[in-house]
């Protein structure tokens, strides 16, 4: 039976009042809803039966495309066999197997996994592990956490504190022991760069200034997205991540890469750490871990971090942290089936194969009105539009809406249009994305 929403006029806002939608202008949405009903391959179908090309892998999640039968079957089998099992003082085989499988594709050394249910939880978990690690080694004064301007690390109190997106922090209390590096978006020097921007590696040196200011003995960790996704696809300047690694290592500071978006093939390797040749001490992951099918996240970490806490009496809990659903059997089954698909279909490196075509196509939009930058790497891209005077974000939203009603799903972050299609995309779909987006940009004054 189809849902009542599918048969009722969508303009009846009363039908939609109950659900307070996340990160959404609720009143604007409910005045003209964009309601999806089914998904298969590269396409959504909305409740009116219109086909919408997925230019965003859902929300950076569905790297293997939609409707993957193997995942559905694994989930269904697992629910029937064992719907839930606690992982506090109990175990079941799937998360152990999943931890091993993740270690096989992660950068060398990151062979321990702590499971969560989301990117936000992964971030807060990684920050806690950093603090617990230093304390266990007798360096308990290392309490300061360093994030970066424009960074997005989810919505937990830890994540918004190290995050650097003003609207996500302003209304809330944030942690006291936090500082930030400058962001690396530099339109003046890097606009329309193909690949990683040439300028800006020196921004990493700001970390030395924070070390001087706060003292290395007080700093626990630096967390950055190797490529900022939510702030509008901000790529790391050539050499930037390497410098961060050198400086953190020199001062005994842990380096955390938030790979919630960049993980699982998005930038052309399993993880951005591998694509750009820098191994952090911890990585936070989620989204593509289960192809978005079931909520799940994880922190992958260097074994030496875990080892540091494996002391004291055997009956002592080493890390006072965990979620009821850590290592949930159904989520773990979904993740294992997802990894099978990624590996069997070569999806972890497919973005590298399509990257040139993708980049070329995207840069074809360069001459269009109001386009002030285009950025891309792997199978991710952004078209940065000039903001209207006194109305930032309105142009981006109009382009996003126009794309949707023309059969293409994109993301807008302010006036930046972000693209991250499923890694199963073919060239003709790339062309279709570019044509539809180009039309929308031209239609929007
Ligand atoms: C880099 C990064 N970290 C953390 C998160 C938060 O993930 P979640 O929404 O699953 O909590 C996101 C979500 O987009 C993200 O992009």
Atom of ligand 1 nearest to the CA of 123: 4
Atom of ligand 1 nearest to the CA of 120: 11
- The pLDDT of residue 14: 54
Measured in Å, residue 402 CA sits from the centre of ligand 1 at 26
The domain defined by 34-63+347-443 carries CATH number 3.40.50.300: no
Q: Which residue has the tokens 């659900």?
A: 19
Residue range 71-344, CATH number: 3.40.640.10
pLDDT tens digits, 44-70: 999 999 999 999 999 999 999 999 999
CB 123 near ligand 1, within 6 Å:
yes
- The pLDDT of residue 364: 97
- What the block records as the tokens of 328 is 């949930």
Neighbours of 310 (CB within 10 A): 12
Rounded percentage of the chain residues whose pLDDT exceeds 70: 97
- The pLDDT of residue 95: 98
Atom of ligand 1 nearest to the CA of 151: 1
Give the closest residue to 57 by CA, choosing from 282, 441, 350: 350
CA–CA distances in Å: residue 115 to residues 127, 200, 412: 14, 34, 30
pLDDT at 10 over 90: no
pLDDT tens digits, 107-119: 999 999 999 999 9
Measured in Å, residue 55 CA sits from the centre of ligand 1 at 18
pLDDT tens digits, 289-298: 999 999 999 9
pLDDT tens digits, 376-419: 999 999 999 999 999 999 999 999 999 999 999 999 999 999 99
CB 43 near ligand 1, within 6 Å:
no
- The pLDDT of residue 15: 86
pLDDT at 6 over 50: no
CB 151 near ligand 1, within 6 Å:
no
pLDDT tens digits, 318-344: 999 999 999 999 999 999 999 999 999
Measured in Å, residue 7 CA sits from the centre of ligand 1 at 33
CB 229 near ligand 1, within 6 Å:
yes
Atom of ligand 1 nearest to the CA of 154: 6
pLDDT at 303 over 80: yes
CB 336 near ligand 1, within 6 Å:
no
pTM as predicted? 0.96
Pocket test for ligand 1, best of 24, 152, 158 (most atoms within 8 A of CB): 152
CB 132 near ligand 1, within 6 Å:
no
CB 158 near ligand 1, within 6 Å:
no
Measured in Å, residue 204 CA sits from the centre of ligand 1 at 23
Atom of ligand 1 nearest to the CA of 59: 14
Domain boundaries, the chain: 34-63+347-443, 71-344
Name every residue whose Cβ is closer than 8 Å to that of residue 385 and which is 6 or more positions away in sequence: 370, 371, 372, 395, 396, 399, 415, 416, 417, 441
Pocket test for ligand 1, best of 122, 162, 286 (most atoms within 8 A of CB): 286
- The pLDDT of residue 12: 46
> What order do you get walking across the sheet with 51-54 strand by strand?
36-40, 43-46, 51-54, 408-409
Query: Do 71-344 and 34-63+347-443 fall under one CATH topology?
Result: no
Atom of ligand 1 nearest to the CA of 259: 1
Measured in Å, residue 126 CA sits from the centre of ligand 1 at 13
pLDDT tens digits, 139-195: 999 999 999 999 999 999 999 999 999 999 999 999 999 999 999 999 999 999 999
Q: Using a CB cutoff of 8 Å and minimum separation of 24, what contacts does 38-44 make? A: 39/66, 39/67, 40/66, 40/67, 41/65, 41/66, 41/67, 41/422, 41/424, 42/66, 42/421, 42/422, 42/424, 42/425, 42/429, 44/409
Q: What 3 state SS string does 386-403 have?
A: CCECCECCHHHHHHHHHH
pLDDT tens digits, 187-218: 999 999 999 999 999 999 999 999 999 999 99
């Amino acid at each position: 039976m189809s849902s009542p929403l599918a048969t009722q006029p969508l303009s009846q806002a009363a039908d939609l009042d109950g659900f307070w939608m996340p990160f959404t202008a609720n009143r604007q949405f409910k005045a003209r809803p964009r309601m999806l009903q089914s998904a298969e391959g590269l396409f959504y179908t909305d409740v009116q039966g219109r086909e919408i090309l997925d230019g965003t892998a859902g929300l950076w999640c569905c790297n293997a495309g939609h409707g993957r039968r193997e995942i559905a079957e694994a989930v269904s089998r697992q629910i029937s066999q064992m719907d839930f099992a606690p992982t506090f003082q109990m175990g079941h085989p799937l998360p152990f197997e999943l931890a091993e499988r993740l270690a096989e594709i992660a950068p060398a050394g990151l062979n321990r996994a702590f499971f969560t249910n989301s990117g936000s939880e992964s971030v807060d978990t990684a920050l806690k592990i950093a603090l617990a690690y230093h304390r266990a080694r007798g360096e308990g004064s290392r309490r300061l956490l360093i994030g970066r301007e424009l960074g997005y690390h989810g919505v937990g109190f830890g994540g918004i504190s190290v995050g650097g997106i003003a609207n996500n922090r302003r209304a809330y209390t944030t942690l006291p022991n936090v500082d930030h590096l400058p962001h690396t978006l530099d339109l003046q020097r890097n606009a329309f760069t193909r690949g990683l921007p040439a300028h800006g590696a020196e921004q990493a040196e700001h970390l030395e200034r924070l070390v001087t200011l706060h003292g290395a003995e007080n700093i626990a960790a630096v967390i950055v997205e190797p490529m900022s996704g939510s702030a509008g696809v901000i790529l790391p300047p050539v050499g930037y991540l390497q410098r961060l690694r050198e400086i953190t290592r020199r001062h005994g500071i842990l380096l955390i890469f938030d790979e919630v978006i960049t993980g699982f093939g998005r930038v052309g390797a399993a993880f951005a750490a591998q694509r750009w040749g820098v191994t952090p001490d911890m990585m936070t992951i989620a989204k593509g871990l289960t192809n978005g099918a079931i909520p799940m996240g994880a922190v992958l970490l260097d074994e030496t971090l875990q080892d540091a806490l494996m002391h004291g009496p055997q009956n002592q809990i080493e890390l006072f942290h965990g979620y009821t659903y850590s290592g949930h059997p159904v989520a773990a089954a979904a993740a294992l089936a997802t990894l099978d698909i990624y590996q069997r279909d070569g999806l972890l490196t497919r973005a590298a194969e399509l990257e040139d075509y993708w980049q070329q196509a995207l840069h074809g939009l360069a001459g269009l009105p109001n386009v002030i930058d285009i950025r891309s790497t792997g199978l991710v891209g952004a078209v940065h539009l000039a903001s209207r005077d006194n109305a930032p974000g309105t142009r981006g939203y109009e382009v996003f809406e126009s794309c949707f009603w023309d059969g293409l799903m994109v993301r807008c972050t302010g006036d930046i249009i972000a693209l991250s299609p499923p890694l199963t995309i073919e060239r003709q779909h790339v062309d279709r994305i570019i044509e539809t987006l180009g039309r929308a940009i031209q239609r929007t004054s």
